Structure 1
Amino acid sequence: MNQLNTKTELADSWYTNAERKAAHYLALLQEELGHKSYRDTLLTDFRLWEKELIKPSAWQSALSLAGRKPDYKDYGKFLRWQRLTGGLDDYLERSVTYMYMRDLGKDLASPSTQRRIEKLVAFLKQHLIPSSDSSNDSKGIPEHMSLAGIYRWAQREGVELAVIWAINKLRRVSDRIPPEMNAEHAVRKLIKIMIGVVLHVMDDMDDHIPPAERSRRLDQGIRLGYSYGLTYPFIDDLMDSGVLDDAEKSQYARMIRHTLLHGSVPDVKNWTGNNAGLIQYVHGELREAFETIRKHQNPESLPIFYEQSYVFFQSQDIDRDKSPKVSNYTNEELLLPIIIKSASSRLIVRSVIGAQEDEAFDQRTFYFGLYNQLADDFADMYDDLAAGAVTPYTYYWSNHRERPDLLNPFELYWAVVAHLIHRVYRSQPTARKVILERAIGGIKRFKQKVGVDTYQSFMRVFAVGDASFDNMLERLIQKADRVDFFDKLLREQMVSTLRSNREQKERFSETVKGLREEINALLPLQAQGGSEILGESLTDAANYSLEGSGKRIRPIVAWVMCVEEYGLSPSSIAPLIRSLEYMHTASLIFDDLPTQDNSSSRRGKPTLHLVHNSATAELTGLFLIQKAIEEQSSLTGFSPKSVLQLIQYSSSKAADMCRGQEMDLRTRGQALTLEELNILCYYKTGIAFEASLLMPAILAGADEKEIQALKKYAYHAGIAFQIKDDLLDAEGNVAMLGKPVGQDESNSSSTFVTLFGKDGATKTMWEHFCLASEALNELPRDSAFLAHLLHYLIQRQS
C-alpha cells in the first residue's frame, strides 16, 4: 500500500509540475490580452506580410497561363499547378519550415537547420512531386503512397524488414478498428506519428554516419514510431468514441495508469464488458508496443518517458471528462489540460527515441503546442458543436453571454501567434511568414468549409472586437491565395488513399466471393450416359477433385479480365473459365501423386489417389486436360483465328508446366541458384497466372504492348505467389492451408526459404511485388482488381 501511495504521489507531482508550467504560460498570454499589446504587434506583422502577397506582373501572367487554381485536395493537379506557376519552391519551403518548427522544435536561425530544410525540400521535389500528367498519381494513388513506392524507399535506406513489419501491423490495425471509429483517420494519425518519429531520428544523424548505422537507427525509429503512434487510435480515439461504455473506460484508464506508474502492463483476463475480444487484441498490441519502447530506452531517458507519458494521458483524460452541461468551468480548467496535452504529444517523441535532453527544444515545443491545438479546434468547431464536444471554442460559444470572464479562444489564439513570433522565434522573418500563412490559411479553409453565412455567424461571436484588427484580418483572408501547406495536402491524399484502398479491397473481396460461387456452379462435369460398362467413374473422380475449398484465383482473374476489362459477355467466356480450372485441377492431381509431391490432402480433403488409386488419379488428370481443350474449342462468338491462337497458347503453356514439374522432381535435394529457382517458379506457378491474363487478352485482340505488360505482371506475381506459398509451408498450419505443411522440407525441395531464409525470402517476395506493381503502370487502364490481387497474394494466410 505504501508503494502504491508513493507512486500515486509521484504521478501527482508530475502533473502538478506540468500544470504549474502551463499556468505560467497562460498568465503570460492573459497579460498580453489584458493590455492588448499583441494587437499592435500583429498589425505591424500583418502589414509586412501583406506586402509579400502582392504578386509582380510576371507572376500574375504565370497564374493566368496556368488557369484556375485546382482544389488543394487534388494531389497531382495541385502540385503540377504549383510547379507551372512557379510557386512550388516557396510552397515546399514554407511547408518544410513549418514541420521543423512544429514537429522538430527547431530554431530557424540556425544555419544547420536551414541546410536540413533545403535538403528535405530537394528530396520532396525529387520523390513526392509528380512531373507530368503521366505520373502514377494520374492512376489514383501517388507512387510514394503505394506499397511499392514505400518499399522502394525502404530498399534505398536498408530498412525493408522494418517497413514490411509496419505495413503488416498497419493492415491489421485498420482491420480491427471498430465501425464507430473512423479507420482512415485513425490509421492516418498513426502514420503521421510514425513519420514524425522517423524525422526526429533522421534529424539526429549527420551526413557522415555510416550506412549500416543509419539503417539500424531508421529501423528502430520505424518500430518506435508505430509503438508510440498506436496510442492514438487505441487510447485517444478509442476513449473518445462510443465503443466502450463508462465502466469499460474506467477499467481501461486504470490499466494505462498502472502501466505508466509501474512499468509493466497488467493482464486483462478478467475484463468485464461487451468488448472483451477487441480489448484483448488492443491489449496485446499495446503490450508489445510498450515493451518495444522500453527495450530501446536507456536508463536515463526511461523515467522521462514515464513522466511525459503519464502527464500526456492525464491531461487527455481530464480534458475528455468535461461535459457541455457544466457552465462554471474556469479558464484554467478549460485551458491548462489543453496546453499540457498539446505540448506533451510532441515532447514525448524525443524520450521515445531515447534522445538527449534539449531544453531549447522543450521550450519551443511547449509554446508551439497551443498554437496547433487552438487552430485545430477552430477548424473542427462546427463538427464539435454538432457532437456536443467541449473545446475552448464550443464552450465559449455556448456560455459567453452569461460568462463575461471567459477568455475568447480566438483572441487567445492571436496572442499565442504574437508570442511565438516575437518571444519564441525572436521576430525571425521566416517564422513570422510561416506562422501567419498557416494561421490565415486555416481560417480561409474553415470559411470555405462551413460557408460564408455560417462563418460570419461564428465571427460575430469570436471576432477580437478591434475594428482595425478585425478588418485587417478579413482583408488578408480575402487576399491570401497561396497559403496552402504540403502536410495538409498529404493528409487529404492519405485519407483519400486509405479510403479508396478500403473500398477497393471490399469490392475485390465481394467480387472474388461472388465469382467463386458462380464459377463453382459452372465446373461440375455432367454424366455422359451410354454404355454401363464404361460407367462414370472418371467423371465422379474429376468432380471430386473440382470440389472443395479451391480459391479459384485463375478463373476469377480470367473472368474479371474478360468481362470488366475487355467488355466480353459472361456467357460467351464460360468455356474459357471452365478450361482454366480443369487445367489447374489436373496439374494439382499430378502434383499430389506418390511419384511426385506425395501429398495426403488438397483443398481441405484427402487427395484423389488416396480416395481411389494412382491409376485413377492419373487418368482423371488426363481426362480433365482433354475436357479443357474441348471447352476451348467450343468458344463461339470469337474469330476462329483468335480461338486457334488461344488453343495453341494454352497447349504450349501446359507443356511448359510439365517441364517445370519435371525440373522440380529432378532437382530435389539439390541447391538451386536464384536464376534456377526463378525459372522453376515461373514454369510451375507464373505460367498459370499468365494464362488467366493472356487468354482473355487473346480473345479480346489486345495489342502486343499490353500483352507484354501482362506477361511481366504475371511473371512477377506468380513468383511472389510461390514465395508466399514457401513461407506458408514453412510456418503455416494445415487448417488454414487445406494441405500439409512442411512438404518442402520433407521433399528436400529448394525454395526461396531454404535459399534465403524467411527474412530473405520475404524481401524477395516484396521485390517481385514491386516489379509486378510497376508492370501494372504500363497497362493502358487502371486495374484496381489486379492491384488488389497482388496485395492478396502476399498477405494471404492460406
Structure 2
Amino acid sequence: MNKELTKNADACYRLAEQKAAQYFKSLYVQLKQKTYVPVLTEDIQSWKQNHIHYPLFSFFSRFSRGKKKSDSMGYDNYIQWLEYTGKLDNYLDRSISYIFMRDLGKALDSPDTQTRIRRVVDSLKNHLTQSTAKAREDKTETISMAGLYRLAQKEGIESTMIWVINKLKTVSLNIPKGIDAEQAQRKLIKIIAGVIMHVFEELGEGISSEERTQKLDEAIRLGYSYGLTYPFIDDLLDAKVLSSKEKKQYSDLIRTTLITGSVPELGEWTGKNADLIRYIHSELREAFEYIKDHQRPEKMKSFFEQSYVFFHSQEVDRVKNLSNPNYTNEEIYIPIILKSSFSRLIARSVISAPEDEGFENRTFFYGIYNQLADDFADMFDDMKEGAVTPYTYYMKYHDKRLDLINPFELYWAVISELIHNVYHSDTKTCEVILDRAINGLKRFKARLGVQKYNEVMDLFGSGNLKFNRLIQNMVRKADDVDFFDKLLRDHIITILKNERKEQEDFLDTIQTVRDQVNSILHIPKVDNDALSKDPIIDAANYSLEGGGKRLRPIMTWVMGVNEYGLNKSAIFPLLRSLEYMHTASLIFDDLPSQDNASIRRGRPTLHRVYSSAIAELTGLFMTQKAIEEQASLDEFDSRTVLKLIQYSAKKTEDMCKGQVMDLNSKGQLLTLEQLNRICFYKTGIAFEASLIMPAILAHAKEFEIEALKKFAYHAGIAFQIKDDLLDVEGDLTLLGKPIGQDFENNNSTFVSILGQEGAKKAMWEHYCLAVEALQEVPRNTTFLKHLLNYIVNRDH
C-alpha cells in the first residue's frame, strides 16, 4: 500500500482524535466539578411541570389524559388512541423534532427547521390516521410488502423497490450463523431509511416528479450501499465467524479500500469462509463503486476521510478485551466519540449533501449521547458477550479502579453540554432531550423489572445521590414520553418476529401436508385386473413420484381442514383428485405435440421413458381417476358432491381451452391481455379449484368464494410470471428442467412481452392485488399470504 496515502489517513485520524480528546476533556471537567448537576436540576424541575400531575388532579387526569402503554396496545391501536385523546400532535412533534436533531443534525431553534418539522408532522399524521384506520377496518398490517410496493408505485420507484427487496433477501440468506440476522436486517433497513430522510430534507419545493423519482432511487441504493457495511463489516468483524487470521486479512482489505479509494482484488482466501467472503467482497465492491460514482468530486475527500476515521475508531474499540484492567478513560471514551459521530457524518456525505451551517459541529458532539444511551440499554447483553463498553468496563472494575469515570454520570454531563453549549439553551431542545432520556430509563426499567433496575441504579447512580433521586422520581412519576421511532422500531421487530414464526409454521405445514399427500397418491394395481400387467399404472405412478411441490392439494388441505373444519380423512379423495388432474396436465404439456419437454421435476418426461401413446393414455387415465376420487367423497351430501364435480368438470374444460390457446399462440406475438387469459386458464384455474372445491364442500358464502377466485386469479398469474422469469434467470439444478425453453420454442411470455423489469413489476402488481383480495376473505389467511411470498421469492 502507498505509504504516503497511509500517512495521510493516519494524520486525518489523529486530527479527529485530537478534537475528540478536547471534547472529552471538557466533559471530564464538568463531571469532576459536577457543574452539570445544578444546571440540569433546574432544567428537570422546569420539565416536570408538564410531565408530572399531582394527586389533586389525578382523578380528572385519568379521564382527560389517560395512561396507556404502546407495547400493550399494539401499533395501530396506540396511534388511534393518541389521536382520540388529542396527544398525537405533540407525540409526533417531539418524535420528528428528535429525528431532525439526531439524524439530520438540525438546530431546533431555526425557523426553517420548525417549518419543515411542522410539514412532516402534518403529513405523517395524515398518513398514520388513514392507514391505521384502514388497517383496523380491513384487519391488515400497516407495514407490509404490498403496502411498501404500493408506496413505491406512487413515487415511481417500483424497479428500485424490487431491486432492494431482492438485495435484502440475498443478504438475509448470506448472513452466517453467529450474526443476529434479524438485528442485521433491521439495522440495514434503518440505514436505508436514514439516508432517505437526508435526501427528503434536501428536496426543494419546485422539484419535478422525474427528479424526485431519481433522487429517491439514488437514496435507496445509496442507503443500501452504505448500510451493507454494518452486517458485512461491523457485525462480521465483531462476531466469531472469521478466524483471527481471516479477520486480519479482511480488515486489511477494508483499510486498503478506504485509504486508496478502490477495492483491491480478493486474491487467494485460505480460510474456511472463502465462499462467504467472495460473496461479501463482490457485494461490497458493487456498493462501494455505486457510492463513488454518486459522489461529487469536491465531497470525495471528506467522504473517504470520514469513512476511515469511522472504521479505524471501530477497529481500535474492537480489539479491547474486558479482561484487561488497565484501559484509561481516554482509551475507553475517545473511540466512542469518534465512531458515534462519524457514522452519522457519513450518512450525509454519502448523498453529497451541501454544507449545512453547524451540522458537522452538532453531529460531532451529539454522537456520544446516543451511544451512551444505547450502551446503557444493552449493558447486560454486552457483558454476556464480553464486549468492552463504558458500562461493562465500569461494572467490572469500579471497585478496583477509583479513577474510572461513571458512564451514567457522563451521560448526564453530555446532556447538559448539548442543551446549553451546543444547542444554546433552546427550550424545545431541552424538552426533547429530557423526554428521550427519561423515556429511555422508563423502557429499561420496564424491560429489566424494578428489582434489577434498582440494583443497576444503586451502582450507577451512587455518585450523586440527590441528583439521582430526582431522576428516579421522574422515571416513577412522569407521564410516558415515548417516541414514534421507538414505536415503529418495536412494531417492525414484532412484524419480523411474527413473519419468521409464520414462515416457519408455513414451511412445517408444507412439509407435513406434502408427506401426507405423497403417502396417499400411489395408485395400486388390482391383482385380478386383466390390465394389471399393462404399464399405464406404472406410468401414472412414475409421474406422481416425480417430487412435485403438491401446492394445490396442500392449499386444499389447509383451507379445508384448518379453516373450514372438514375432516381430513374425508377430503383425501379430493386431495388425490387435484394432484391427479395437475399431473395429467403436466403429462399433456410435455408431449412432443405440445411443449416437447425432455425433463420434468428433475427426471425424463413420461413420453421419453415410455412412449407418446402411453403418455397420452396415462394423462387421460389420470383425469378419469380424478373424477372417480371426487365421486367417492361419501362423507358429504350428494348435492354438494355433484356441485363440486360440475365445478371441477367446467374447470377442466377451461384448462383444455387454455392449452389450445397456448398451442395456437406459438410463434405469435401476444398482447398482455391474451397472455393473462392463457395464463389464468393454464395456471390460475388450478389454484382457484384448490380453494373453491373445499369451500364448496363447506358451503361457503358466495362473497367469500368470489374473493378466493380473485386471489387465485392474481396468485396464478404471479406464479406464471415467476416461472417465466426463472426460465431466463433460474438455475437448472434448482429448477429441475432446462432454462431458456420459452425462447427456444419462440413462446410469448411475460418476459418477452414486458421485458425482465416489466415482468417483475407485473408480478408485484398481481402480488398486491392478491393480497388485497385476501382482505375480503373472512378466514385466517396467513398460510395463503406466505404462499404468495413463496410464489414471488422462490428459486425453483
- TM superposition score normalised by structure 1: 0.95
Contact kept, 8 Å, 1:710 with 1:775, in 2: the verdict is yes
Contact kept, 8 Å, 1:672 with 1:750, in 2: the verdict is yes
Q: 1:643 aligns with which of 630, 641, 644?
A: 641
Alignment-derived partner of residue 12 in structure 1? 10
Over the matched positions of the two proteins, sequence identity in percent amounts to 56
Q: 2:158 aligns with which of 157, 160, 176?
A: 160
Alignment-derived partner of residue 141 in structure 2? 142
Kindly indicate whether residue 94 of structure 2 is the aligned counterpart of residue 94 of structure 1.
yes
Q: Deviation at 1:534? A: 7.4
Q: Deviation at 1:192? A: 0.3
Inter-partner Cα distance in structure 1 for 2:740 and 2:57 = 70
Contact kept, 8 Å, 2:52 with 2:477, in 1: the verdict is no
| Alignment-mate amino acid for residue 119 of structure 2 | K
Inter-partner Cα distance in structure 1 for 2:113 and 2:222 = 24
| Pair 1:138–1:441, CA change in 2 (3 A) | farther
Q: Cα deviation per residue 1:637-662 (whole Å; 9 max; x = unaligned)?
A: 12222211111111111111111111
Alignment-derived partner of residue 561 in structure 1? 559
Q: Cα deviation per residue 1:601-638 (whole Å; 9 max; x = unaligned)?
A: 22222222233333322222111111000000001212
Q: Deviation at 1:138? A: 8.6
Alignment-derived partner of residue 69 in structure 1? 68
| Alignment-mate amino acid for residue 19 of structure 2 | K
Q: 2:51 aligns with which of 35, 47, 53?
A: 53
Contact kept, 8 Å, 2:557 with 2:568, in 1: the verdict is yes
Contact kept, 8 Å, 1:166 with 1:222, in 2: the verdict is yes
Q: Cα deviation per residue 1:182-221 (whole Å; 9 max; x = unaligned)?
A: 2111110110001001111111111211111111111111
Inter-partner Cα distance in structure 1 for 2:731 and 2:70 = 50
Alignment-derived partner of residue 607 in structure 2? 609
Alignment-derived partner of residue 622 in structure 1? 620
Inter-partner Cα distance in structure 2 for 1:116 and 1:323 = 45
Inter-partner Cα distance in structure 2 for 1:127 and 1:708 = 30
Alignment-derived partner of residue 317 in structure 1? 315
Q: 1:379 aligns with which of 377, 380, 395?
A: 377
Inter-partner Cα distance in structure 1 for 2:177 and 2:470 = 44
Structure-to-structure mapping, 1:756-767, within 5 angstroms: 756-767=754-765
| Alignment-mate amino acid for residue 303 of structure 1 | K
| Pair 1:468–1:288, CA change in 2 (3 A) | same
Kindly indicate whether residue 108 of structure 2 is the aligned counterpart of residue 108 of structure 1.
yes
Alignment-derived partner of residue 450 in structure 1? 448
Kindly indicate whether residue 195 of structure 2 is the aligned counterpart of residue 194 of structure 1.
no
Kindly indicate whether residue 720 of structure 2 is the aligned counterpart of residue 722 of structure 1.
yes
Contact kept, 8 Å, 1:7 with 1:261, in 2: the verdict is yes
| Alignment-mate amino acid for residue 457 of structure 2 | M
Contact kept, 8 Å, 1:76 with 1:130, in 2: the verdict is no
| Pair 1:708–1:333, CA change in 2 (3 A) | same
Inter-partner Cα distance in structure 1 for 2:758 and 2:305 = 40
What is the SS of the residue equivalent to 2:263?
coil
Q: Deviation at 1:55? A: 5.6
Inter-partner Cα distance in structure 2 for 1:555 and 1:121 = 49
Q: Deviation at 1:784? A: 1.9
Contact kept, 8 Å, 1:62 with 1:84, in 2: the verdict is no
Alignment-derived partner of residue 83 in structure 1? 83
Q: Deviation at 1:681? A: 1.4
Inter-partner Cα distance in structure 1 for 2:735 and 2:28 = 66
| Alignment-mate amino acid for residue 777 of structure 1 | Q
Alignment-derived partner of residue 288 in structure 2? 290
| Alignment-mate amino acid for residue 191 of structure 2 | I
Q: Cα deviation per residue 1:532-566 (whole Å; 9 max; x = unaligned)?
A: 47742221222222221322111111111122222
Contact kept, 8 Å, 2:525 with 2:532, in 1: the verdict is no
What is the SS of the residue equivalent to 1:178?
coil
| Segment of structure 1 superposing worse, 294-303 or 312-321 | 294-303
Inter-partner Cα distance in structure 1 for 2:382 and 2:551 = 46
| Pair 1:656–1:65, CA change in 2 (3 A) | farther
Contact kept, 8 Å, 2:563 with 2:780, in 1: the verdict is no
Q: Deviation at 1:176? A: 2.3
| Alignment-mate amino acid for residue 363 of structure 2 | T
Inter-partner Cα distance in structure 2 for 1:531 and 1:440 = 83
Runs of at least 5 residues in structure 2 that lack an aligned partner in the other structure: none
What is the SS of the residue equivalent to 1:72?
helix
Contact kept, 8 Å, 1:162 with 1:219, in 2: the verdict is yes
| Segment of structure 1 superposing worse, 419-428 or 367-376 | 419-428
Contact kept, 8 Å, 1:45 with 1:432, in 2: the verdict is yes
What is the SS of the residue equivalent to 2:86?
coil
Inter-partner Cα distance in structure 1 for 2:595 and 2:128 = 48
Alignment-derived partner of residue 123 in structure 1? 123
Inter-partner Cα distance in structure 1 for 2:176 and 2:532 = 58
| Segment of structure 1 superposing worse, 377-386 or 51-60 | 51-60
Contact kept, 8 Å, 2:52 with 2:478, in 1: the verdict is no
| Alignment-mate amino acid for residue 275 of structure 1 | N
Q: Deviation at 1:730? A: 2.5
What is the SS of the residue equivalent to 2:495?
helix
Number of aligned residue pairs: give it.
Answer: 794
Inter-partner Cα distance in structure 2 for 1:543 and 1:136 = 49
Inter-partner Cα distance in structure 1 for 2:419 and 2:30 = 14
What is the SS of the residue equivalent to 1:143?
coil
Contact kept, 8 Å, 2:419 with 2:430, in 1: the verdict is yes
Q: Deviation at 1:124? A: 2.6
Q: 1:599 aligns with which of 591, 597, 600?
A: 597
What is the SS of the residue equivalent to 2:71?
coil
Inter-partner Cα distance in structure 1 for 2:452 and 2:264 = 48
| Pair 1:478–1:137, CA change in 2 (3 A) | farther
| Alignment-mate amino acid for residue 633 of structure 1 | A
What is the SS of the residue equivalent to 2:256?
helix
Contact kept, 8 Å, 1:726 with 1:751, in 2: the verdict is yes
| Pair 1:59–1:730, CA change in 2 (3 A) | farther
Please give the root-mean-square deviation of Cα atoms over the aligned residues, in Å: 2.2
Inter-partner Cα distance in structure 1 for 2:770 and 2:303 = 43
Structure-to-structure mapping, 1:707-746, within 5 angstroms: 707-746=705-744
Alignment-derived partner of residue 441 in structure 1? 439
Q: Deviation at 1:161? A: 1.1
Inter-partner Cα distance in structure 2 for 1:558 and 1:60 = 56
Inter-partner Cα distance in structure 2 for 1:685 and 1:533 = 33
Inter-partner Cα distance in structure 2 for 1:492 and 1:105 = 24
Inter-partner Cα distance in structure 1 for 2:685 and 2:18 = 69
What is the SS of the residue equivalent to 1:135?
helix
Structure-to-structure mapping, 1:420-499, within 5 angstroms: 420-463=418-461, 465-499=463-497
| Pair 1:533–1:198, CA change in 2 (3 A) | closer
Inter-partner Cα distance in structure 1 for 2:41 and 2:229 = 41
| Segment of structure 1 superposing worse, 653-662 or 537-546 | 537-546
Alignment-derived partner of residue 175 in structure 2? 177
| Pair 1:789–1:62, CA change in 2 (3 A) | farther
Inter-partner Cα distance in structure 2 for 1:137 and 1:19 = 55
Contact kept, 8 Å, 1:72 with 1:484, in 2: the verdict is no
Q: Deviation at 1:366? A: 0.9
Q: Deviation at 1:7? A: 2.2
| Segment of structure 1 superposing worse, 77-86 or 65-74 | 65-74
| Segment of structure 1 superposing worse, 759-768 or 606-615 | 606-615
Contact kept, 8 Å, 2:79 with 2:132, in 1: the verdict is no
Alignment-derived partner of residue 358 in structure 1? 356
Inter-partner Cα distance in structure 1 for 2:729 and 2:174 = 23
Alignment-derived partner of residue 270 in structure 2? 272
| Pair 1:137–1:112, CA change in 2 (3 A) | farther
Q: Deviation at 1:61? A: 5.0
Q: Cα deviation per residue 1:20-52 (whole Å; 9 max; x = unaligned)?
A: 111111122223224332222212211221111
| Pair 1:665–1:313, CA change in 2 (3 A) | same
Alignment-derived partner of residue 238 in structure 2? 240
| Segment of structure 1 superposing worse, 472-481 or 647-656 | 472-481
| Alignment-mate amino acid for residue 450 of structure 1 | L
